[in-house]
């Protein structure tokens, strides 16, 4: 495993940001930065051995300081949406920032993807890791509890990017961590992902209201455009006359994963025919937001001057269900004081 680090740039207030590069024996390369603990690039070979960067993002710190679409971001303290931007624990109601209409999205205006982290590099013969950590103080973003958090990115010689999330709080709180990388297996500048093929191991999804807040109802995907249990192209049904798709402008839905939750299991697969690249997703989380970049506008200029437009990247955000802290029937996103939050997500790359 090859390791290197370099200065990525400086923030607008003069803080130096470092990029960490891990490269395995196959030439796969993962680059992460301590600003936002963001995944800045993932270079993987295609069927002819040609390397290309398959995640959307930016060439400089300034891009990540704006980053309205959360490219590559480590998302917290609560990924996805909380209805009404509030929740109640132990009889106390906590008010959060309303940064998505009347709701809270990805923690607030300054999420974890806008923080600077301590970094620790760990090297082994067949794997390498970078651990990012910090303490999120009590009432940061409006959430109770001093939260010790870390996210560890590990690259293996099996072309796996393993993401390990850890957190522990000194008060009962809400925690729902995820990663918001946008993938395009044809290359980050290749354009729309509608011809990508997707498989998702889920029999149901959480239906939402017009603000994309789950109502608590689970809907069977059978006979609907939401069904990805048989592999199909992203664009096959994305324009269907189906209310959940019309509300979201495409896929932006939490899938109820058909797994035990007791171990890390395969939950999704993404393939791209022209390059032959394949990405498999493994997790122990109960849900996964499948998002097709419906709100990418082309206003942010990404790597190599590429302006990312609608449907030019897609996300697989493993998670607790959105608004779980307010819906008792959902698996709970409440973390009790001194309990450990530990979850794993793996993105594994290969060619078909």
pLDDT digits (tens, 9 = 90+) for 89-107: 999 999 999 999 999 999 9
Mean pLDDT of the 108-117 span: 97
How far is it, in rounded angstroms, from Cα 202 to Cα 224? 13
- List Cβ<8 Å contacts ≥24 apart for 193-196: 193/234, 193/292, 193/293, 193/311, 193/312, 193/313, 193/314, 194/233, 194/234, 194/235, 194/238, 194/311, 195/233, 195/234, 195/235, 195/272, 195/273, 196/233, 196/234, 196/270, 196/271, 196/272, 196/314
Q: What is the pLDDT of residue 126?
A: 85
Tell whether domain 2-351 is in CATH 2.70.98.10: yes
pLDDT surpassing 90 at residue 61:
yes
The residue annotated as part of the active site, out of 113, 180, 196, 343, is: 180
pLDDT digits (tens, 9 = 90+) for 322-348: 999 999 999 999 999 999 999 999 999
Give the pLDDT band of residue 155 (cuts 50, 70, 90): very high
Mean pLDDT of the 189-216 span: 97
Q: What is the pLDDT of residue 14?
A: 98
pLDDT surpassing 90 at residue 125:
no
**Catalytic-residue membership of 180:** yes
Q: What is the pLDDT of residue 278?
A: 98
Nearest to 36 by CA among 116, 141, 126, 136: 116
pLDDT surpassing 90 at residue 157:
yes
Give the pLDDT band of residue 115 (cuts 50, 70, 90): very high
The residue annotated as part of the active site, out of 106, 196, 317, 343, is: 317
Q: What is the pLDDT of residue 98?
A: 98
Mean pLDDT of the 308-327 span: 98
Average pLDDT, the chain: 97
pLDDT surpassing 90 at residue 164:
yes
Q: What is the pLDDT of residue 170?
A: 98
pLDDT surpassing 90 at residue 83:
yes
Q: Which two tokens stand for residue 245?
A: 């798709």
pLDDT digits (tens, 9 = 90+) for 220-270: 999 999 999 999 999 999 999 999 999 999 999 999 999 998 999 999 999
- Whether the pTM exceeds 0.85: the reply is yes
pLDDT surpassing 90 at residue 88:
yes
pLDDT digits (tens, 9 = 90+) for 67-81: 999 999 999 999 999
What percent of the chain is modeled with pLDDT above 70?
100
233 contacts 196 by C-beta, under 8 angstroms: yes
Domain range list for the chain:
2-351
pLDDT surpassing 90 at residue 124:
no
**Catalytic-residue membership of 317:** yes
């Amino acid at each position: 495993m090859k390791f290197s680090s370099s200065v990525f740039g400086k923030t607008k207030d003069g803080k130096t940001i470092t990029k960490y590069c891990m490269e395995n024996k196959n030439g796969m390369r993962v680059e992460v930065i301590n600003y936002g603990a963001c995944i800045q690039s993932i270079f993987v070979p295609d069927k002819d051995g040609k390397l290309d960067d398959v995640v959307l993002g930016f060439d400089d710190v300034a891009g990540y300081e704006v980053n309205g679409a959360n490219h590559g971001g480590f998302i917290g303290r609560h990924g996805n949406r909380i209805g009404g931007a509030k929740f109640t624990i132990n009889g106390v109601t906590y008010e959060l920032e309303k940064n998505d209409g009347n709701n809270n999205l990805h923690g607030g205006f300054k999420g974890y993807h806008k923080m600077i982290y301590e970094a620790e590099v760990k090297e082994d013969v067949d794997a390498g890791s970078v651990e990012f950590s910090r303490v999120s103080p009590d009432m940061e973003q409006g959430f109770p509890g001093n939260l010790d958090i870390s996210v560890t990115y590990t690259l293996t010689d099996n072309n796996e990017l393993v993401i390990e999330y850890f957190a522990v709080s000194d008060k009962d709180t809400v925690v729902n961590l995820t990663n918001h990388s946008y993938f395009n297996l044809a290359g980050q500048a290749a354009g729309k992902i509608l011809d990508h093929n997707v498989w998702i191991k889920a029999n149901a999804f959480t239906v939402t209201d017009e603000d994309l807040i789950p109502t608590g109802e689970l809907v069977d995907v059978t006979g609907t455009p939401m069904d990805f249990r048989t592999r199909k192209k992203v664009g096959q049904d994305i324009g269907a006359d189906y209310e959940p798709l019309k509300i979201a402008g495409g896929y932006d839905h939490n899938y109820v994963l058909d797994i035990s939750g007791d171990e890390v299991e395969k939950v999704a697969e993404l393939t791209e025919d022209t390059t032959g690249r394949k990405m498999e997703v493994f997790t122990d989380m109960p849900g996964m937001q499948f998002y097709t970049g419906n709100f990418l506008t082309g206003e942010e200029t990404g790597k190599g001057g590429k302006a990312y437009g609608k449907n030019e990247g897609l996300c697989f955000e493993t998670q607790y269900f959105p608004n779980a802290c307010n819906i008792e029937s959902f698996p709970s996103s409440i973390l009790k004081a001194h309990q450990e939050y530990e979850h794993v997500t793996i993105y594994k790359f290969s060619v078909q």
